[in-house]
Structure 1
């Protein structure tokens, strides 16, 4: 081959290589292609596992189909369908230092933030409007009861960092015991109760009850139920399944709480007058003594709370033409011993932080501190200024602790 022929052959070879398009070497594209292949393989494996899980769940649902709650109970959602990590199983102290100035001797919910009595600020996360908050005795957080709505009330377990877990939704009413370890609720004709362990409900018990029945509070290991808010009469439900035993009480007008020995502080008709008699009721049948040991006439809206030692009742009542908070000495239930005016009328929850000190919010949203010795000396309760609280913000006094 001559020199000219060799040169022509080389030129033709280069020309064909240039004319043929070739993708340049791209390391990133190669990695993406390999990742796509891996992802496709994992997707196929995941679909197989999901199909197996659906079969197992379906089989389990068929086996549990005979153990259904009473009609209406399925409208109450128990536990969060998307549970958060186990924030309630730790024994570590709450995160964050107590560096803020405490607003009061009790925890307060101001707008969406809990201001603790130790000087912490905890913003509630992932919950709706709250009407009541109860501090857990172990210091791990709070239980929050939602405001009533068209869909009912909700209950959340709030961890020490403010994150929450839904425990109940759609209930007509929700009540908690003093320690925050038990909850009772009512929905339609179903009355239910459960324990609260590590932020979860356990050991649920259900009973059939009248549609008008309303749980009011725990009394030891029973739940006080008003059979009809429009009529007198209460019953203690001993957390027993089956139809609710409605008892024989059809006279008790209102019940404000219980003494350490189990007797209930309530009102019954005072014959022969049309007044009511503040007295102590036997928990067996909710019967008053005969004759009843009557205390002063209250004539309030029924809001009240008994001190932890059972000595005092702080209750809304009438003084002349005004609604006021009254302090009653339960060791001296006699019509000749008048109730003492303690302060403005109460709204919301009442917290007895000590046997002789209580806090509540009045109609203006201000915090009121009731010192028993101060009231006994003839002086009114103190209105506590809450820094940073605006007129359009809500104030909830936290109970428990």
Structure 2
């Protein structure tokens, strides 16, 4: 083929111009290297995060399974009436390492300020408001604490053994617990309610309309003893399963202190305008009356677990104080003197061996019937850690098999 010089020069120029317009590939691409390194680092971080999330999920799941298996831990929301905000706070448990100590004979659990001091000298911060009454739950499951009446009325807390407190009720006018801690009754608004306590929850609630001023006073088996208001007065027994409150009420029954093992009740009645002690049948009818000592009108007192003894405020001779009454000889035996200072608050019986209560000075009074029969009286012990004008709250509730308070 005939190729001129001009054609060769043009072909050379075109070839060179194309080579200049096309960038030469670099042996190493810095941008590509940086991008690839960043992607590898991101993949490593993602894999590490997924692994940690998996471990955390396993640990949390195991912890929830362990908490769910503990007795007394609720798995559904508790029943709260009113506004519980600011009522209870959660705090460390315990606040003071429990010192090694042996239980003291006849010792009881006490609430001192905001702390619980058990019979075996362990101290716990309850994390609840000021307490008015407290009761042990069965089988060492913790405590139920009824708050003092305030502008927001009363509250009820469940304090599991080793766990934070939980508000069960708030804004109730009055709260009463059954002796075994498995039932609760309260007044809220114009109704009286009753329910069971299981796993620190209130269940199977029943409510009925009640007259003005009527409040639950105590449990008598599966019935609730209701104290009438200023107009109706007296007491009546309400069976929640039966529906509405019964009409009427026994106006001669002024106070009820407790239930004997055979179902009779120990109470205060009026006989001919005089205040007397009496044993009542299941319908609140007096079956035995003793008008020797004069029981006080404050309604404070308690019956021993075996039903023999009644410790109650009253007047013997010209002196006021706590009276120990033998209910087996109520119509014959008359105490000739008080056996201890005036009762303030609840009385805790440790089986039939002894009783403990707080007196008006904030001291803990303890007595034993056998020593009283021998001429003795209650011994008072000052309680440390009390604020001025405060008093310890004696914890009541079911004792263990040995007759001592359960503090497990």
Q: Same fold by TM-score, threshold 0.5 exceeded? A: yes
Once residues 177 and 345 of structure 2 are traced to their aligned partners in structure 1, the CA distance between those partners, rounded to angstroms, is 15
The equivalences for 1:1-400 within 5 A come to 76-77=81-82, 99=100, 105-125=107-127, 127-228=128-229, 232-240=233-241, 242-271=243-272, 274-284=273-283, 286-289=284-287, 292=289, 294=291, 296-319=293-316, 322-334=319-331, 337-338=334-335, 340-389=337-386, 391=388, 394-400=391-397
Q: How many angstroms apart in 2 are the aligned matches of 1:153 and 1:309?
A: 31
Alpha-carbon shift at residue 249 of structure 1 (Å): 1.5
Q: Distance in 2 between matches of 1:360 and 1:308?
A: 16
| Deviation, structure 1 residue 150 | 1.5
Shift of 1:312: 0.7
Q: Cα deviation per residue 1:307-351 (whole Å; 9 max; x = unaligned)?
A: 111101100112455431111111112266236421000111110
**What SS is found at the alignment partner of 2:372?**
helix
Given that residues 368 and 383 in structure 1 are in contact (C-alpha distance below 8 angstroms), is that contact kept between their aligned partners in structure 2? yes
1:231: how far off? Answer: 6.0
Under a length normalisation based on structure 1, what TM-score does the superposition of the two structures give?
Answer: 0.72
1:65 paired residue number: none
- Label 1:172 to 1:390 Cα distance change in 2 as closer, same or farther (>3 A): closer
State the Cα distance separating 1:185 from its structure 2 match: 0.7
Per the TM alignment, residue 240 of structure 1 is displaced from its structure 2 partner at its CA by: 2.8
Distance 1:102 1:78 in 2: 39
1:233 Cα deviation (Å)? 1.3
Flag the 1:120–1:338 CA change in 2: closer, same or farther, 3 A.
Answer: closer
Alpha-carbon separation, structure 2, partners of 1:339 and 1:266: 20
Structure with bigger gyration radius: 2
How far, CA to CA, are the matches of 2:187 and 2:367 in structure 1? 33
Structure 2 gaps, min length 5? 1-36, 47-78, 90-96, 400-408
Is there any run of 5+ residues in structure 1 with no aligned partner, and where?
A: 1-24, 35-73, 85-95
Q: Taking structure 1 as reference, are residues 78 and 353 closer, same or farther at Cα in structure 2, changes over 3 Å only?
A: farther
Q: Figure out how many residues of one structure are paired with residues of the other and give that number.
A: 335
- Using the size of structure 2 for normalisation, the TM-score is 0.71
1:278 Cα shift? 1.2
C-alpha distance in structure 2 between counterparts of 1:320 and 1:155, whole Å: 40
